[in-house]
Amino acid sequence: MTAQIHDTFRHRDVEFSVAGISEDELFDPAVLGLEPAMATTACWRGYQAVYAVLETHLVVADLNVNLLEDGEGFQLKQGPTINGVTPTGSRRKHDFFNNHYSGLNYHLEYSSGLLLAAGFIRELYVHMGFHPPWKYKKVIELVFENGVLQHEFDRTEQVAEIRQKIIESHDQQKPDRMPANEEIRQFVERAFDRSYRL
């Protein structure tokens, strides 16, 4: 398995990683008629969204997606025009995505919270899934109602306390046996799970 490319969130001139989603999925490309195909082992789901708040409303500002003819093989597919935006192709030689929707600004009606994180702590890197909020130096929480931003909280101190407890817990464990299959399965599930509770 590979660490996954994270979605990003542009907020107050800072680019954050989307590290926590409190309800369901934030966005599903299927609502736009898109069927993403795996772009790389670092992006199993085949897309990366860039979110923002535009005039207090949550939007998919940009969308990078890998589309293939009939959803398989290696025949690249040009995506449709969405929200008045026609996608451009690959931007560089080793681009993971073949369709880039810049300035999409697709409104979302999401109602719940998001954890945005910045300042990844390199020593905590694990080559698997999405990195959780406690692996970042700064964490803020945004709360939305029907896509409109309602509240913003700085969660940096609470997350730092969680990080300390997790590190202390790991330091006390002494792996003297190979993990069981069920333990491995649970680890993988947690690595790809970005959910949290408000």
Q: Is residue 32 part of a domain?
A: yes
**37-92 pLDDT per residue, tens:** 987 888 889 999 999 999 999 999 999 999 988 655 566 788 999 999 999 987 66
Q: Is residue 130 part of a domain?
A: no
Q: Please, what is the average pLDDT of the chain?
A: 83
Overall average pLDDT of the 139-164 stretch: 93
Q: Is residue 62 part of a domain?
A: yes
Report which of residues 59 and 185 the model is more confident about: 59
Q: Is residue 198 part of a domain?
A: no
Q: Is residue 180 part of a domain?
A: no
Q: Is residue 196 part of a domain?
A: no
| Structural domains of the chain, count | 1
Range of the domain at 42: 27-107
pTM of the predicted model as reported, rounded to 2 decimal places: 0.81
For the chain, what is the HEC assignment? Answer: CCECCCCEEEECCEEEEEEEECCCCCCCHHHHCCCCCCCECCECCCEEEEEEEECCEEEEEEEEECCEHHHCCCCECCCCCECCECCECCCCCCCCCCEEECCCCEECCCCEEEEEEEEECHHHCCCCECCCHHHEEEEEEEEEECCEEEEEEECHHHHHHHHHHHHHHHHHCCCCCCCCHHHHHHHHHHHCCCECCC
Q: Is residue 159 part of a domain?
A: no
Q: Is residue 59 part of a domain?
A: yes
